[in-house]
Amino acid sequence: MSFAAGAAYDGAMRAAIGQGQRALESGDVPVGAVLVDSAGLVVATGFNARERDGDSTAHAEIVAIRAASSALGNWRLDGLTLVVTLEPCTMCAGAAVLARVDRIVFGAAEPKTGAVGSVWDVVRDPRNNHRPEVLGPWDLAPDVSAECADLVRDFFADRRGASDG
C-alpha cells in the first residue's frame, strides 16, 4: 500500500485521535477508533473505556465494533475500515477478523502487545478464513502518525512523572 492510499484515512485518523482524547477524561489509555464505510463516512466510534466502565474488554476497537454492529444490525462489518490510533492487541485484532472488517488502519505501532505485525500478526495469519488489509503508520502522513504516537507516549510519561513525586 502506498502513502497516497493511506493518506485517504488521515481525516478518519484525526477523528480517532479525538476519540482517544475522550479516554483521557476517565483516566484511561488514550486510544480511539472509528469505523468508516467505503465513502469515508463514520459508522461508529469508540474509545478506551476500561476504567470508566470497569470492563477489561472495553478497548476502543471493541467499543467501536459493538457500536457498528448495533447501528447496522449485523455482526458482519464487511465493507468497513477500522481506523485506530494504536496497533490493536490480540483481542482487538481477533475481533476485527471475526467481524470481517475489510481493512485496519493504525496510527502508531505497539511494540509490547501489538498484534498486527509488531509482536504477533493475528490478522494476516494464513489460517484465518478472513484477512483484513493492513495500513500502518508508514502509510499515513507523518504528522498524523506522530500525533497518534505522542498521545500514548505523553500519557505514560505523565503517569511516570506523577509517580516520581
Number of domains in the chain: 1
In a domain, 21, yes or no: yes
Q: For residue 153, what is its C-alpha cell?
A: 507516549
User: In the 8-state DSSP scheme, what is residue 116?
Assistant: B
Q: What pLDDT was estimated at residue 2?
A: 47
Q: What pLDDT was estimated at residue 153?
A: 92
**Binding site as annotated, residues:** 59, 89, 92
Cβ atoms of 63 and 85 within 8 Å: the answer is no
Structural domain of 123: 9-159
pLDDT per residue as tens digits for the range 44-57: 999 999 999 999 99
In a domain, 118, yes or no: yes
Which amino acid belongs to residue 38?
Answer: S
**Binding site as annotated, residues for Zn(2+):** 59, 89, 92
Enzyme catalytic residues: 61
Q: What pLDDT was estimated at residue 159?
A: 80
In a domain, 1, yes or no: no
Pairing of strands 81-86, 133-135: unpaired
Residue 3 has pLDDT above 60, yes or no: no
Question: Which CA distances in Å does 32 have to 16, 35, 59, 85?
Answer: 5, 11, 9, 6
